[in-house]
A = this chain, B = another copy of it.
């Protein structure tokens, strides 16, 4: 029998940059996710996580972040594109954990100031997320020209994104349920 426990799907805001418009995108995603009956969500702002100045990797894992990722069934990463790659501090945070991620679903929301919707940060993240044991779904959300999508208060100015986000969440929830079933019910043959 399928479990009916709600899925825990946090949203990771992957930048600490001053004036980051990605915060509006992350809030929008978390808000939409919170409207799904089957989902519990929470916004995790990487700016609030502790960063060591003297080490990297699992040695500096934050117990609270680790517990949340352990509990998560899936996650959304909101990633602005910096020089066609991912923000350094997002990677720094992701690298602090490993077993917490395995066999869980992830969806990527790409954010860019320009016209290409963060497509390049998405491509750049794929090998990393795979190595972490995450399954990246094949729908994305792309925020191009982010300054025209939200105003400074975070109000959404267009109507193309809600349906795109909705399809993305449908797929993410499906993958989260599927992988949860696998983790809980399907043994690894040997």
A127 to B53, CA, bound (A): 27
Q: How far is the CB of A75 from chain B (nearest CB, A)?
A: 15
B55 touches A17 (CB 8 A): yes
Return chain B residues, CB-CB under 8 Å to A88.
56, 87-95
Return chain B residues, CB-CB under 8 Å to A179.
178
The reply on A132 being an interface residue by CB < 8 A is yes
From B92, B119, B187, B188, give the contact of A89 (CB < 8 A). B92
A83 touches B128 (CB 8 A): yes
Return chain B residues, CB-CB under 8 Å to A171.
188
Interface string of A8-50 (1 = CB under 8 A from B): 0000000111100000000000000000101000000001000
Return chain B residues, CB-CB under 8 Å to A59.
17-18
Task: Count residues of chain A with CB under 8 A from any CB of chain B.
Answer: 67
A128 touches B124 (CB 8 A): yes
A83 touches B126 (CB 8 A): no
Q: Give 17 new A-B contacts, CB below 8 A, not counting A16-B56, A88-B89, A88-B95.
A: A16-B54, A18-B59, A38-B189, A56-B89, A82-B95, A83-B94, A84-B123, A84-B131, A88-B92, A91-B91, A120-B127, A123-B124, A124-B124, A124-B127, A133-B138, A174-B188, A178-B179
Binding site for B on A (CB under 8 A): 2, 15-18, 36, 38, 47, 51, 53-57, 59, 82-95, 98, 115-117, 119-120, 123-128, 130-133, 135-136, 138, 142, 144, 166, 170-171, 173-175, 177-179, 181-182, 185-190
